[in-house]
C-alpha cells in the first residue's frame, strides 16, 4: 500500500456518510425553501386584464355568447370557451371580443383560432379529409360491431337442436 492509498477513506463507510450528508442537505434545502415557494407567485402567472368584459349592446353580447359557446377551451378540452375558468380561456374570450369589434364575422374569427390552435378549438370541426374519421368513425364502428355480433349469433344458432346427454344431471 503506497502513501496515496493510505489517505483514501474506506469505501463502504464513505458511501454511507456521503448518502447521509446528501439526505441532510436535501432535507435542509426543502425545509428552508418551502416558505419561499409558498410566498412566491406561480411561474405560470400571466399579466392579464382581470376586469369583466363590457359589451356595447345586447346584440354584441348575444353574438359573443353564441360564438364562444361553439369554441372549445384549448386547456380544459371538455369545456367550451364560455364555460371555462382557465386563464387562457379568459384571454381567448377577450381576443374574440376584440376581433368582433374589428369587424370580423364569426367565420373569420373561427378561421383565425383554427389557424392558431388547430381544428381542436372547434366543437364541430369541418368535414374534411383530416376529420372524416371523427365524423364517420362512430357509425363505422357501429356497423362493424353489428356485423360481428350477427356472425357470432348466426354461428351459434346452428340448426337449433340440442344434444341430449343422459349422463348429465340437472
> Residue 55 burial (CB < 10 Å; 0-12/13-18/19+)?
middle
Q: With contact defined as beta carbons under 8 Å apart, do 72 and 121 qualify? A: yes
- Is residue 141 a part of any domain in this protein? yes
Count Cβ neighbours within 10 Å for each residue of 127-143 and write b for 16 or more, e otherwise. eeeeeeeeeeeeeeeee
- Is residue 163 a part of any domain in this protein? no
CATH number for the domain that contains residue 107: 1.10.8.640
Q: Which of 38-42, 111-115, 162-166 has the highest mean pLDDT?
A: 111-115
pLDDT band at 158 (very low <50, low <70, confident <90, very high): low
In whole numbers, what is the pLDDT of the chain averaged over residues?
78
- Is residue 43 a part of any domain in this protein? no
- Maximum Cα–Cα distance across the chain: 96
Q: How many domains in the chain? A: 2
- Average pLDDT value for residue range 48-73: 86
**Domain span at residue 64?**
58-121
In terms of domains, do 114 and 67 share one? Answer: yes
Rounded CA-CA distance 119/122 in Å is 6
- Average pLDDT value for residue range 88-111: 93
- Is residue 102 a part of any domain in this protein? yes
Amino acid at each position: 500500500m503506497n502513501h496515496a492509498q493510505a489517505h483514501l477513506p474506506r469505501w463502504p463507510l464513505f458511501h454511507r456518510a456521503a448518502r447521509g450528508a446528501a439526505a441532510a442537505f436535501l432535507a435542509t434545502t426543502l425545509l428552508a425553501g418551502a416558505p419561499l415557494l409558498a410566498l412566491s407567485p406561480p411561474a405560470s402567472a400571466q399579466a392579464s386584464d382581470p376586469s369583466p368584459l363590457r359589451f356595447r349592446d345586447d346584440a354584441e353580447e348575444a353574438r359573443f355568447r353564441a360564438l364562444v359557446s361553439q369554441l372549445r377551451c384549448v386547456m380544459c378540452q371538455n369545456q367550451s370557451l364560455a364555460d371555462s375558468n382557465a386563464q387562457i380561456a379568459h384571454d381567448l374570450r377577450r381576443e374574440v371580443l376584440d376581433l368582433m369589434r374589428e369587424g370580423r364575422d364569426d367565420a373569420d374569427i373561427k378561421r383565425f383560432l383554427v389557424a392558431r390552435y388547430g381544428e381542436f378549438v372547434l366543437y364541430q370541426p369541418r368535414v374534411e379529409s383530416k376529420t372524416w374519421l371523427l365524423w364517420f368513425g362512430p357509425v363505422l364502428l357501429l356497423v362493424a360491431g353489428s356485423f360481428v355480433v350477427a356472425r357470432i349469433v348466426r354461428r351459434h344458432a346452428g340448426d337449433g337442436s340440442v344434444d341430449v346427454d343422459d349422463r348429465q344431471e340437472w
